[in-house]
Structure 1
Amino acid sequence: MSMKEKIVICGRDISEKDIETTVFIVDNFGSFSRTELAKTVCECLDWVTLADKPKVEGGVKLLEYLESIGEIVLPLKNEKMAECGRRAMKAIKITEKTDPKRELTGELSDFSPIELKLAYTQGSIELWKEYIERYHPQKYAKPYAANIKYLIKCKSKVLGCMLFSSSAWALEDRDKWIGWSEYDRSQRLMYVVNNTRFLLLPWLKINNLASHVLGKAIKQLPRDWLKEYMYEPVLLETFVNSEYKGTCYKASNWIKIGNTKGRSRQDSHHKYLSSPKDIYMYPLCKDFRKYLTGEKEPKIRVRS
């Protein structure tokens, strides 16, 4: 295949050698599923994250791109397995563990210490999912790519949940505010992290709890992300429905910089419409723009 234009997928400049290798893999391992092919492609191209895990999403996108231009023919998607997966994701069992509790009222000083506990065991993840499904307006949806889940706790009491995950692919107002070119964004989008879910349970009436939790998350998340994914983010983003005022984000010094255009977070093809939302950003360091435009290199953890 002779390349007439530059191809960038998930931050990688795709070379002719990459394409030749991918075509060879598909031709010789036709019995593999799409996911197995994507993993094999990533292994052969050394296409991995800083945590040394295959960038399967990028492998899938490369495969689908090559199929779209007629270079390869992929195996059919296993719709039966996909449907089982969709049902499993939706079938979150609601139990008495998340039943409403008595109302808690008072000042922050009455509920100390408040901590963000990582949800990483099977039990804590299932509890996190159940609270989100039961009490968050947007319900549970499988997190996109890299993510960290927190249970907000006061001793043994669960007060709420948070989710931080990979940032939205393209936001016109955000990208202008950062000063991003399309190439810069493709190379450094990973250093922006999205606060995708923030839930405080409805029976809580604790003054300033929301802004206090956001403040703790701002300090804790970079360390946890560095430990889990081998690099430290430099900027946070979140989307707030226009009917809400974003009071807790404003109180925590997040900056409203514009609006979304009414598309889903990873929709680069204008297919999936959603209601426009306000965009709030929080810089995690003073020089975040220099990191995001390549003038400085963000902090990474070297694997020992």
Structure 2
Amino acid sequence: MGRTKLSVTLCEMWGWRGQNNSLKDMSCRDMLRALDKAGRITLPEPKSVSRKVGTTMKIKHLAHDETLITGSLKDLRTLHVEIVSSKDKLVEFKSYIDQFHYLGFGRHIGEHMGYMVYSRDGLALSCLLFGSAAWACRERDIYIGWGKEQRKHRLNCLTNNTRFLVLPFVRIPHLASHILSLITRRISADWEKKYGHPVYLLETFCEISRFRGTCYRAANWMRVGSTTGRGRDGGHHNAILPVKDIYLYPLVDNYRSKLCE
């Protein structure tokens, strides 16, 4: 059985479909490739490959104007938020994140949404990427009140802020929390327009050795606990990943009932 047939079969077995009832084949293939790379499963050899297996995704690095931007928030408002959709905008978006975010751009699996934020004069200020929520997170799941079956069926109604970058040459007090507030007001509608369903809750994970989560707390995100650092392969005792604080932001008042339907 080839990779495509395998992913289609799994989608049919799991009932993994989008809001338009089409099989989420590409998302499933991305997941299978990630599991194969991590050594959790062994996939059949691909019949064709777009690039050599094992190579790192190449991100085009553009030359950016890094002139220092200082002052106050009122000097930049009203900010312009743009969804990353065009090819040119995606190249710019990837370049900023890969050059200036400590994790680089990486890859996203499944549903995702990218935003770029500009000043009223068109100066690039920030990039945000939202993607698939963590499959399992004990503190989060307890806070929501999720069982395994509820989580399985409603996980797509939650999204993870996997990257948040205020460009390093932008030094504006309170800018980060203001940007988060702008995004939280619109992301559910943007998600529904793109994928046919809303999201009810946002999550993010802040590495505690690097960040204090100040901008998230200032934007009224709730800290609900910390990760163990064990990941999926760390067993019961050994921490193999950085410990991270878990922050959540409800987009609707009845998010628990929506997520537990």
**TM-score above 0.5, yes or no:** yes
**Bigger shift: residues 174-183 or 48-57:** 48-57
Give 1:273 shift. 3.7
Q: Is 2:129 the partner of 1:163?
A: yes
Q: Is 2:27 the partner of 1:50?
A: no
What amino acid maps onto 2:107 in structure 1? K
Choose from 203, 210, 213 the match for 2:169: 203
Residue number in structure 2 paired with 1:187: 153
Pair 146,292 (structure 1): closer, same or farther in 2 beyond 3 Å: same
- Identity over aligned residues, as a percent? 33
Unaligned segments of structure 1, at least 5 residues: 1-29, 63-73, 295-304
Residue number in structure 1 paired with 2:253: 286
Residue number in structure 2 paired with 1:227: 193
Give 1:81 shift. 2.9
Note the alpha carbon deviations across 1:181-238, whole angstroms, 9 max, x for none.
1111111111111111000001111121001000000001111001001111111100
Distance 1:262 1:160 in 2: 28
Choose from 174, 181, 194 the match for 1:215: 181
Greater share of helix = 1
Residue number in structure 1 paired with 2:80: 115
**Off by >4 Å, runs of 4+ in structure 1:** 40-47, 57-62, 269-272
Larger Rg: 1
Unaligned segments of structure 2, at least 5 residues: 33-41
Give 1:260 shift. 1.4
Distance 2:117 2:230 in 1: 30
What CA RMSD, in Å, does the superposition of the two structures yield over aligned residues?
A: 2.7
Pair 135,180 (structure 1): closer, same or farther in 2 beyond 3 Å: same
Q: Is 2:218 the partner of 1:262?
A: no
Residue number in structure 1 paired with 2:35: none
Residues matched between the structures, number: 246
Distance 2:99 2:30 in 1: 33
Q: Is 2:243 the partner of 1:276?
A: yes
Residue number in structure 1 paired with 2:100: 135
Distance 2:194 2:31 in 1: 24
Pair 152,190 (structure 1): closer, same or farther in 2 beyond 3 Å: same
Contact 1:173–1:257, Cα closer than 8 Å, also in 2:
yes
Distance 1:60 1:132 in 2: 21
Pair 86,79 (structure 1): closer, same or farther in 2 beyond 3 Å: farther
| TM-score (normalizing by structure 2) | 0.84
Residue number in structure 1 paired with 2:3: 34
